[in-house]
Structure 1
Amino acid sequence: MPTNQIHVVVLGGGYAGVMAANRLETRDDVAVTLVNPRPHFVERIRLHQMVVDGDPATQTFTTVLNPGVHVVVDSAEHIDAAARRVRLASGSALDYDYLVYAVGSTSATPAGVPGAAEFAYPISEWEQARRLRTRLADLPLQASVVVVGAGLTGIEAAAEFAEAGRAVTLVSRIIGPSLSKPARRSVTKRLRKLGVTLIEQSSVAAVGPGHVVLDDGRTLASEATVWTAGFAVPALAAASGLTTDGIGRLVTDETLTSVDDERIVAAGDASAPSGQPYRMSCQAGLPLGAQAAATVLARIAGDVPADATVPMTGQCISLGRRAGTVQLQRPDDTPVNVYLGGRTGAFVKEQVCRYTVKWLAGEAAKPGSYKTLKGPARTTEPADVAAAP
């Protein structure tokens, strides 16, 4: 790399990281290195479909990433903010002038649930989805499948498996807690039509190799227990001594700059602006990635970075391949009593999946072309954060 270039390292090749890396290519004097544990981009919003039909749910980086971005297939193990250096799992290290922290999220480890770590199948990462696909391929269609958690991921997984002919039970305290009551009724009706057994007001207290135990003592047969109850983030920021929120997201100001170091900027699921993160989603990840890059570019230019905002317009849920629900939202991410359902909902959800890749590819081809909409003003009262030792 020429010595006169500014080196920006982007940690994470998901929705936020790829968008940030592409946007940074608007300056010729910036060299961008993207660090990602896989040699491809994962369409995370298609992983439940991958489990059923074997679609890889991936795109090559040549499809979504500007050719000027250098990709390093590795994982970050430690950030030395004082030295501006990232140590990688391979033993090598990368020096940086600016760092974009976009490491994403993963399944939450079900602490306190005996057997969950050994016998449950999370589905939030590509490798996890492949493992579950292999498991289901070994089981007859009539084998019992229990999906734990009925957030958007759990709903989509249960519907996809049931539409494929699987015997599915969905266990949760509430179906679709982020949805309005009308949308929740619609989702519940569709799940029942697909043959999903719904067990509400319950949680799983233990997981065995062929069963789950509910909190009321009931035992359900389960040849494959799919765990979708909650998300976590990598421990990298906390382990590196940076200030994080209660689950380990990097705490930033409203420009997405770390409260500890103005050379570190965060975006996506692992960021918490003012300790108040946006909902984990590609809907937030794409604009946050673009705005994180804009903050870095502003600092390079000697300008004052703008506050980042994200208008959260809706939640899109696939309910198998022939139906879906699109929950409309206020800009502050609270639901309204309006939704699109049925085949219309399925069509909109599929278009969202396709356009997510198109937007990334468009930004790769022409950095700066992706347009971000301004979201609502945010209240920034102090939130609970933790400074890692």
Structure 2
Amino acid sequence: MTENPNSVRTTTSVLVIGGGYAGVMAANRLTSRPGVTVTLINPRPDFVHRVRLHQLVGGSDDAVVAYEDVLAAGVRLVTDTVTRIDPAGRGVTLAAGDPLAYDYLVYAVGSGTADPGVPGAAEFARPISTLEEARRLRTALDAEPVTAPVTVVGAGPTGLETAAELAEAGRPVTLVCGGVLGPYLHPRARRSVAKHLARLGVTVVEGTDAKVTAVTRDAVRLADGRELPSRVTVWTAGFAVPDLAVRSGLTTDALGRLLTDETLTSVDDPRIVAAGDSAAPSGLPLRMSCQSALPQGARAADTVLSRLAGERPGELHQSYYAQCVSLGRAAGVFQLADRADVAIGFHVDGRLGARFKEIACTSIHQQLVGEARKPGSYRLHHLPGGAAKRRQLLRAARADRADQDQASAAR
């Protein structure tokens, strides 16, 4: 059979860079439209369940899921690293494989550990934001006796969960907050967390002087002159994003997140959309979390699908309702929040809090599997609750930029 010379190619190629929560959600959802070929590019052959990395460190979970369990059957997985995006040529360069072309690209490269900028930290402190880092930390802990002092730097969710996990395993743990314990939490929930950490034997160091100024092989030095013994120092303070967008000449915010409009479309190229930790919609990025990544992944896919259908893409609106923090295997805190992601005075703690946290972790996996089996079934990104607050934030940001422009002009 000969091909009709007047026929028009109907297949659309979409590349998804990054196989985390946002990337997998986007890839699965894109398979809902016939004629779309989806390729997911990720440096690892397995899916990392990032919200369980602290459990990997504590020895209660391996934090890895086979991609075949969470990816739609129609998604092609390429295990490689993208070194550069060529928007003009609509292609990407890979570290090991041949270049790949695309019609649309989903940028979902996630985040990693920020440079601490503290003397000795890069050499002696151990981050935990990636699978490889968590495994190296686990190896370092296994090499030390259970009585060896451990210091966890950073009192956000990752720091709280890691400190509690290690203390529950019988290790002497000091948590250096660099400020307040659990800054996101309402004071009531914060008191509950402090009590539980105390029961586990965690020493909590708070206050403006509780900032790390140096890390050595055997100690952590604080701004007030104290020196804390530490055979293993865990660094959980701060996240950064890969510089792929910057290296590719795309417009980013100050941290390197791809700058997009409210449909998650790059301000440089309508063929590129972004989702997750590496996206900065309207210069007002959402909280780095799986709670943001899954809806953004679905929204990014919908933007591509809308353009393919000749429709106007919908805009981002994000509802938050809670943050879950595990405190070992037997306790946790489920902190409720308003739709602007501000903690309110109600929380659930103890064993029920741990149960809620486990439900949240399990539901992430279930939502990805559900979208893989029935693309287009995920609906949480359509909830209207966050739209009004998002518009309010955008107006405030625009007014602030206008004031700054006027001030600059006056000078």
Does residue 320 of structure 1 match 2:320?
Answer: no
The residue type paired with residue 153 of structure 1 is T
Superposed counterparts of 1:120-139, under 5 Å: 120-139=125-144
Say whether 1:79 aligns with 2:90. Answer: no
Tell me if structure 1 keeps the 8 A contact 2:219–2:230. Answer: yes
Counterpart secondary structure, 2:96: coil
2:289 to 281, 292, 304: 281
1:214 aligned partner:
222
Provide the rounded CA distance (Å) in 1 between the counterparts of 2:60 and 2:145: 17
In the alignment, does 2:100 pair up with 1:94?
yes
Map 1:115-194 → 2, pairs under 5 A? 115-172=120-177, 173-194=179-200
Cα RMSD for the two superposed structures: 1.3
C-alpha deviation, 1:54, in angstroms? 5.6
Q: Name the SS of the counterpart of 1:255 in structure 2.
A: coil
Decide whether aligned partners of structure 1 residues 184 and 376 sit closer, same or farther in structure 2, where only a CA change above 3 A counts. Answer: farther
Q: Which residue among 8, 11, 24 is the counterpart of 1:5?
A: 11
Aligned equivalents of 1:50 and 1:79: distance in 2?
A: 33
Equivalent residue, structure 1, for 2:237: 229
Task: Give the equivalent residue in structure 2 for 1:250.
Answer: 258
TM-fit CA distance, 1:93: 1.2
Who is 2:206 aligned against?
200
Counterparts of 2:58 and 2:254, CA distance in 1: 35
**The one of 375, 379, 387 aligned to 1:376:** 387
Q: The residue matched to 1:245 in structure 2 has which SS? A: coil
Gap regions ≥5 residues in structure 1: 385-389
Q: Where is the helix percentage greater, Structure 1 or Structure 2?
A: 2
- How many angstroms apart in 2 are the aligned matches of 1:178 and 1:245? 23
Aligned counterpart for 2:49 among listed residues 31, 39, 43: 43
CA contact (8 A) 2:80 2:97 kept: no
Tell me which residue corresponds to 2:3: none
How far apart are residue 77 of structure 1 and its match? 1.0
Deviation of the 1:174 alpha carbon:
1.0
Aligned to 2:405: none
Tell me how far apart the structure 2 counterparts of residues 177 and 149 of structure 1 sit (CA, whole Å): 10
| 1:150, distance to aligned residue in structure 2 (A) | 0.3
Task: State the aligned residue count.
Answer: 382
Structure of higher CA gyration radius: 2
Q: How does 1:20-35 map to 2 (within 5 A)?
A: 20-35=26-41
Given the alignment, which residue of 279, 294, 303 partners 2:311? 303
Q: Does 1:347 align with 2:347?
A: no
Match of 2:373 among 344, 356, 365: 365
Q: Residues 324 and 333 of structure 2 are in contact (CA less than 8 Å); yes or no, is this contact kept in structure 1? A: yes
Runs ≥4 residues deviating over 3 A: none
Provide the rounded CA distance (Å) in 2 between the counterparts of 1:76 and 1:336.
Answer: 41
Partner amino acid, structure 2, of 1:45: V
Instruction: Tell me, in whole angstroms, the C-alpha distance in 1 between the residues paired with 2:158 and 2:360.
Output: 16
- Determine the C-alpha separation between the residues in 2 that align with 1:93 and 1:137: 41
Q: Offset at 1:308?
A: 1.5
Is the 8 Å Cα contact of residues 55 and 62 (structure 2) preserved in structure 1? no
Q: Unaligned regions of 5+ residues in structure 2, if any? A: 1-7, 402-411
What does residue 387 of structure 1 align with? none
2:64 paired with 1:58: yes
Q: Secondary structure at the match of 1:87?
A: strand
Alpha-carbon distance in 1 for matches of 2:9, 2:94: 22
Instruction: Provide the C-alpha distance between the structure 2 equivalents of 1:310 and 1:345, rounded to a whole number of angstroms.
Output: 24
Residues 332 and 352, structure 2, Cα contact 8 Å, conserved in 1:
yes
More off after superposition, 125-134 vs 237-246? 237-246
TM-score (norm 2): 0.91
Note the C-alpha offset of 1:277.
0.7
Residue-by-residue CA offset, 1:154-208 (whole Å, 9 max, x unaligned)? 0000001001101000001111111111111111111111100011111111111
Aligned partners of 1:332 and 1:376 also within 8 Å: no
> TM (normalized to structure 1)?
0.96
Mean Cα deviation higher: 341-350 or 48-57: 48-57
Q: Which residue of 1 aligns with 2:115?
A: 109
The equivalent residue for 2:25 is 19
Sequence identity percentage:
58
Pairwise CA distance, 1:97: 0.4
2: CA distance between counterparts of 1:118 and 1:10?
Answer: 33
1:268-310 deviation per Cα after TM superposition (whole angstroms, max 9, x unaligned) = 0111111101101111111110010000000111100000111
